[in-house]
Amino acid sequence: MARIIVVGSVALDQVVCLDGPLVPGTHMEARDSGARLGGGGANTALPLAAAGHAVTLCSGVGTDGDSDRLLADLTAAGIDTALVTRQAGGPTRSLVMVDPGGERSIVNLRRVQGAEPFAGLARQPADWIYVRSRADGLAPVLAARAADTRVVAHVPPCGPGLRPAHVLVGSAADLDPAFLADPFAAGRAVAGPALEWVVVTRGAVGAEAHGPDGILRQPAVPARAVDSTGAGDAFAAGLVHALATGSDMAGALATGAAFGAAAVEQAASALPAAAVRGLVA
């Protein structure tokens, strides 16, 4: 299996289950479903570790008891947290509202960034790096690492040269019409000449990979929606897992779709290890 660095957030997700679809301007009933480990970095790192990879998480957390528990959960899952920095206060916190159809809405209450300029990321040995962060200052280290390490990066950000990478991944819901009009050309401006693929996820429609020679399309895998939190992160974990184990892009899209579908069937922010083991068995 591969050595993978995941750059992204670790969060404490406070979950409430709504009694109906979220409607602005109304009073709604909900039940408190408690707090759980979340954040884009953790949600991607956990399935990759469950799939058997040696995963190092580059992130930031606070210094309080909640942060200690989040780190303990990550360590218990086999994730190396040596590149997780501590900053005074609590961890990143998100309010996650889930409606009866499994659709989630997220309100970010607090953000904690990893220390910059990500010196540890520059030094840590790795075969693959996955970036799920909008933090500034990553471009120089990613450009240097891309010479001998495969880099997959999430978009946005979509500014020129901000994410040197071989593969870009983003949700159509997060990308503007100009980017979606020609994802590969737009991606080249973001990632530079090393870019090979731009993967765009489209929820229940599926996903597509745009390359210099054409487009690959993958339909969504049918699933019973319970909680869509982290489904995109699970898709990315499946994609990276498949690529890191030798799959071509068509196979990686299929694996990503399977991971994403399994995620929406779970009342969790990250795809549970037991589900991952079933997918990769």
Report which of 77, 45, 73 is spatially closest to residue 59, judged by C-alpha positions: 45
Residue 100 lies in a domain: no
> Over 90: is that where the pLDDT of 133 sits?
yes
- For 122, the domain range is 3-10+40-91+114-280
Q: Which CATH number covers residue 46?
A: 3.40.1190.20
Supply the pLDDT for residue 114.
60
Residue 22 lies in a domain: no
Residue 30 lies in a domain: no
Query: What confidence tens digit (pLDDT) does each residue in 152-209 have?
Result: 999 999 999 999 999 999 999 999 999 999 999 999 999 999 999 999 999 989 999 9
Q: Report CA-CA distances (Å) from 235 to 4, 111, 113.
A: 16, 23, 23
Mean pLDDT over the full length of the chain: 95
DSSP string, 88-132: SS--EEEEEEE-TTS-EEEEEEE--PPPTT-HHHHHS--SEEEEE
Query: What confidence tens digit (pLDDT) does each residue in 74-84 have?
Result: 999 999 999 99
How many domains are there within the chain? 1
Is 11 strand, coil or helix? strand
| pTM for this entry | 0.95
Half-sphere exposure of 102 (CA within 13 A, CB side): 19
Residue 107 lies in a domain: no
Query: What confidence tens digit (pLDDT) does each residue in 242-255 have?
Result: 999 999 999 999 99
Is 80 strand, coil or helix? strand
Is 264 strand, coil or helix? helix
With a pLDDT cut of 90, the percent of the chain lying above it is 92
Record the tokens describing residue 261, joined without a space: 């579908």
CB 167 within 8 A of CB 187: no
Supply the pLDDT for residue 208.
98
Query: What confidence tens digit (pLDDT) does each residue in 8-34 have?
Result: 999 999 999 999 998 889 999 999 999
Residue 264 lies in a domain: yes
Residue 259 lies in a domain: yes
> Any residues with CB less than 8 A from the CB of 229 and at least 6 apart, and which?
13, 15, 38, 96, 98, 104, 106, 268, 269
Q: Report CA-CA distances (Å) from 157 to 1, 194, 208.
A: 29, 17, 19
> Over 80: is that where the pLDDT of 113 sits?
no
281 — pLDDT class (breaks 50, 70, 90):
confident
Supply the pLDDT for residue 115.
55
Residue 26 lies in a domain: no
Supply the pLDDT for residue 117.
46
Supply the pLDDT for residue 119.
72
> Any residues with CB less than 8 A from the CB of 72 and at least 6 apart, and which?
none
120 — pLDDT class (breaks 50, 70, 90):
confident
With a pLDDT cut of 70, the percent of the chain lying above it is 98
**Residue linked to tokens 């990893």:** 114
Higher pLDDT pick, 122 / 244: 244
> Over 70: is that where the pLDDT of 116 sits?
no
Residue 249 lies in a domain: yes
